[in-house]
């Protein structure tokens, strides 16, 4: 039951390919729509995005806003706005939130087309690219923008495998991309935050390691949520066995000889994966 302290490497071939393909088409893109998870507004940002997208106009979409701790996440919204980004929030269940994105795209293109008009050029439709870490909710947002299910959606990383161009309306096209991560996570907390929100495949880190990180973070910031959902008031590495034993009893998981750590860990991870726990933000300024 020890946490993995080594650096985490995960860079599937399709992610490297995606970066190359984005670089090859970025000159034709007007707007980058960066979808992040509101519960991990720092961990779910791609560090070298500006480099990948050649500093194109950026709209940051704080997706799953209904699941986050708004007091904490709003601090990140203010920070990113102050850095010159356009920010939009979208709820995982609100099917009308996509209209905010279209409104911001239209506002940007008014300026673009005014400049084109001054040069004697015809107006152009917006070409946008949607980028984000796996399972941030890109495909769900695109389906809502289109108004029908055109992309596969799943509560797991790696659903989208290649670049797809989709017509939204006569004024806007979208290029969807597979989720992108970076080759190596030197920051263990950042990697565990991503894993907690299912942005990293569970095979990369042990389910117990992810579960312990969730318990630690809830114990540090949300002791009331920890107690309500798992029946313990705090978590400590010094009493891992006791904590898992208490959670087993609280959740009525049979104990035959010893605690089934894998089953308890899966329950903890699924509580976030299945959106049973709300009002949490793991990143702090």
CATH number reported for the structural domain that contains residue 216 in this entry:
1.10.1580.10
Whether residues 14 and 122 share a domain: the answer is yes
CB of 157 within 8 A of CB of 194? Answer: no
Q: What's residue 4's pLDDT?
A: 42
Q: What's residue 69's pLDDT?
A: 97
Where among 160, 176, 192 does a domain terminate?
Answer: 176
CB of 38 within 8 A of CB of 240? Answer: no
Distance, in Å, from the CA atom of 165 to the CA atom of 254, rounded to the nearest integer, reads 50
CB of 123 within 8 A of CB of 41? Answer: no
Q: What's residue 3's pLDDT?
A: 43
In a domain, 182, yes or no: no
* pTM of the predicted structure, to 2 decimals: 0.85
Q: What's residue 160's pLDDT?
A: 42
Whether residues 36 and 150 share a domain: the answer is yes
In a domain, 284, yes or no: no
In a domain, 138, yes or no: yes
Where among 176, 196, 222 does a domain terminate?
Answer: 176
Whether residues 159 and 234 share a domain: the answer is no
What's the CATH code of the domain at 52? 3.40.50.300
Distances (CA, A) of 114 to 108, 127, 157, 169: 10, 16, 40, 20
Whether residues 142 and 221 share a domain: the answer is no
Q: What's residue 155's pLDDT?
A: 44
Give residue 236's domain range.
206-273
Whether residues 139 and 215 share a domain: the answer is no
- Between CA 206 and CA 58, with CA 13 as vertex, the angle to 5 degrees is 95
In a domain, 194, yes or no: no
Whether residues 103 and 231 share a domain: the answer is no
Where among 176, 194, 220 does a domain terminate?
Answer: 176
Whether residues 163 and 221 share a domain: the answer is no
Whether residues 80 and 132 share a domain: the answer is yes
Q: What's residue 232's pLDDT?
A: 95
In a domain, 196, yes or no: no
Three-state DSSP class for 262?
A: helix
Q: What is the CA radius of gyration of the chain?
A: 21
In a domain, 82, yes or no: yes
Whether residues 103 and 212 share a domain: the answer is no
Q: What's residue 8's pLDDT?
A: 54
In a domain, 198, yes or no: no
Whether residues 94 and 217 share a domain: the answer is no
Whether residues 223 and 123 share a domain: the answer is no
Any idea which residue has 């920051």 for tokens? 187
Q: What's residue 10's pLDDT?
A: 53
Q: What is the pLDDT along the chain (285 residues), one digit of tens a residue?
A: 444 444 555 555 556 677 777 777 888 889 999 999 999 999 999 887 888 888 888 999 999 999 999 999 999 999 999 998 999 999 877 778 888 999 999 999 998 889 989 999 998 888 898 888 888 888 888 888 887 655 444 444 444 445 677 888 888 888 877 777 665 566 788 889 999 998 877 667 789 999 999 999 999 999 999 999 999 999 988 889 999 999 999 999 887 778 889 999 999 999 999 999 999 999 998
Domain count, the chain: 2
Q: What's residue 281's pLDDT?
A: 98
Q: β-pairing, 31-37 with 57-63?
A: parallel
Whether residues 142 and 59 share a domain: the answer is yes
In a domain, 165, yes or no: yes
């Amino acid at each position: 039951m020890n946490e993995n302290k080594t650096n985490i490497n995960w860079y599937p071939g399709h992610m490297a390919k995606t970066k190359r393909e984005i670089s090859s088409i970025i000159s034709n893109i007007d707007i980058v729509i960066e979808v992040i998870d509101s519960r991990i507004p720092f961990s779910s940002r791609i560090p070298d995005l500006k480099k990948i997208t050649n500093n194109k106009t950026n709209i940051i979409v704080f997706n799953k806003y209904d699941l986050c701790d708004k007091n904490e996440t709003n601090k990140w919204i203010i920070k990113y706005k102050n850095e010159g980004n356009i920010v939009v929030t979208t709820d995982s269940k609100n099917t009308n939130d996509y209209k905010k994105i279209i409104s911001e795209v239209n506002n940007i293109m008014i300026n673009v087309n005014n400049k084109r008009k001054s040069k004697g050029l015809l107006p152009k439709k917006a070409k946008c690219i949607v980028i984000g870490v796996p399972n941030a909710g890109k495909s769900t947002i695109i389906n809502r923008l289109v108004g029908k299910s055109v992309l596969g959606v799943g509560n797991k990383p790696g659903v989208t495998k290649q670049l797809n161009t989709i017509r939204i309306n006569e004024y806007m096209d979208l290029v969807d991309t597979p989720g992108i991560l970076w080759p190596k996570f030197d920051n263990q907390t950042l990697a565990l935050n991503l894993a907690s929100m299912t942005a990293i495949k569970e095979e990369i880190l042990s389910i117990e390691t992810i579960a312990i990180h969730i318990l630690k973070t809830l114990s540090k910031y949300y002791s009331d949520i920890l107690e309500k959902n798992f029946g313990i008031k705090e978590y400590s590495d010094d009493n891992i066995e006791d904590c898992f034993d208490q959670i087993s009893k609280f959740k009525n998981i049979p104990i035959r000889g010893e605690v089934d750590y894998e089953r308890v860990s899966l329950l903890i991870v699924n509580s976030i994966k299945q959106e049973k726990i709300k009002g949490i933000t793991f990143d702090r300024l």
